[in-house]
Structure formats: C-alpha cells, structure tokens
Amino acid sequence: MQDRTKFLGGTDAAAVLGLSRFRTPLEVWAIKTGTVKEEDISNKLSVKLGKKLEDTVAELFEEETGKKTHKVSESQIHPEYPFLGAQIDRKVEGEDAVLEVKTASAWKAKEWVGEEIPIEYIIQVMHQLAVTGRKLGYIAVLIGNQDFKWKKIVRDEKMIKEMVKKEVDFWNNFVLTKTMPMIVKAQDDDILYKLYPDSNQKEVELGDDANKVLESLEGLRADRASVEDAIAQQENELKLMLKENEIGITDKYRFSWKTQQRQSVDLEKLKGAGLYEQFAKITQTRVFRYGKKKEE
C-alpha cells in the first residue's frame, strides 16, 4: 500500500476542508502524523470491484465521447508544495485534461442527477488540477451497473487558490508540528477511541468551555427525548388505527404492524450450567456519560 503519510492526496482534500461526509480533519491528521495507522481496505470487495471496473468505465467514457485516454501510473506532485500529491486515473489525449473514474451503488444515483456531482469528487478533481496544472477534469461514473454518466469539471482558479492555501496551512500548522486540530465532527467517535483507547481513572478539572458544551448537550438530549416521545405517540396512533390488521394503505403511504418472533439466549440458565464463561466474548470500548455534580 502506498505510504499516504507523506502527502495530502485528492481523497484527503475534502476532509481537510471540512467538506467530506466520509473523513474528518482529525482522521486525516491522525493518519498523516502516524498517530493512527490507516486501515488497509485494498482487500474489500467493493474496492476490488472498483479497480477491476476502472478500465470498463474508462472505455465507456471513450465510447460516449469519442475521446482517447491512457493510464497514469506515477504519482503527480505539486511543483511548489511537494506534500501535495495526486494519483490520477487517466489523462485525456489531445486535451489539457484528466479523467477520474468512479463506481457507485444504485443507492447513490440521486447524487448524480442532472449536473450534480458529490462535493467530495469535485474537490478531488480540483485538487488534481491544482497539482498537475491542467485546465479541465472529466469524471465518469458507473452507477449500480445500470447507468453510466460523465461530467466536466472546469478549473476554478479562485477555488484552487483557497483550497491549496488551506491544505498548506493544515500540513504546516498541524501535520508537521503534530498539533492536533481541536475541531471534531460526529464521525470522529471511532478515531477518538483509536487515539485514546485506555482511560487512566484520573479526574481532571475543566473550565467554562466544557460547561458550555455540556449545557448545549443537555439541551439537545432534552429536545431528542421530546421528539422521540412525539414519534412514539404518532406510531401508537397508527397502531390503534390498524387494530388487529397488519398493513395500512393510504393514497400516499403504506405502513405495517406485524407480529414477529425473536429468539434469544437465557443468560442466567447459561451461567447456571457453567457455560457462559466458555463462550463469552470480551470487547473493550470507552463509554461517555455525564450528569450534574452533587451539591457539597
């Protein structure tokens, strides 16, 4: 696997900008600094299929557009910033252009309707244009093995200037200095556990910043409880409408209340038979809880 700790690539760019649904700045930082080892996903079936279908998608692009492309095996490096790199899929012959090849599941079809392109891929291609100096990017996607689309991404100098500035700042201020970015996102639960898997049983005194977050969290959880109550009430209203019937139909919706059986293991009997310890599996995690301090 290529050592991705040495540079920021196209798939890192959206995360560094805080615009990725799949990765966060904290995760990129942890991997680039070597604090956390990047997961090797090369053996995942979806990744293997994507690699095998790359040639097919490129051929479909050539058939639909009449253009010719060829593979690029070597990594591209930004002429001014050697820590900005790009691995492009194809160059387009006779044009100052690159081709990025993608596959997507049928569930992602809505992301490609009309002129739509997922933001992560726009940034990825724009990063490639920034690194290579090329003027134009094409992106070709096979969706659910049922639909094929290709789209054009034109070099945007203003966007590239701002993007490169933020990537350079991220590398110089966080990666090189190993200074952790203190902005976290909802997806950071796993990476935070990887960074801090063990607790030391110590108590630490925190200030007003923690108070503000906890007060906000308390309010959000109260709002969630209220919403969950409202959801449960309305579900019960629909159950009452169904009575003993299983399925309800309106001119807009279909809903059901089905009888189901669930099989479970009686843990007490298993322990009584002396079998629980033989098959129990212990996993480690860190549990977050909070509450108001007791008045002294």
Task: Report pLDDT digits (tens) over 202-252.
Answer: 999 999 999 999 999 999 999 999 999 999 999 999 999 999 999 999 999
Q: Quote the pLDDT of residue 25.
A: 97
Please tell us whether the domain made up of 4-195 is placed in CATH 3.40.30.10.
no
Domain boundaries, the chain: 4-195, 206-247
Tell me if 79 sits within 8 A of 133, measured CB to CB: yes
CA distance 93 to 67: 7
CA-angle at 97, arms to 96 and 101, nearest 5°: 165
Question: pTM of this prediction?
Answer: 0.81
Report residues of the chain scoring pLDDT below 50. Answer: 1
pLDDT score for 295: 67
Which pLDDT value is given to residue 119? 96
Give pLDDT, residue 66.
Answer: 96
Residue 174 to residue 190: CA distance in whole angstroms: 20
Query: Is residue 129 within 8 Å of residue 155, measured between CB atoms?
Result: yes
Cβ-in-10-Å burial (0-12, 13-18, 19+) of 38 comes to middle
Q: Given this model, what pLDDT does residue 2 score?
A: 61
Residue type, 64: E
The one-letter code for the residue type at 57 is V
Residue 76 tokens read as 């591209």
pLDDT at 1: 46
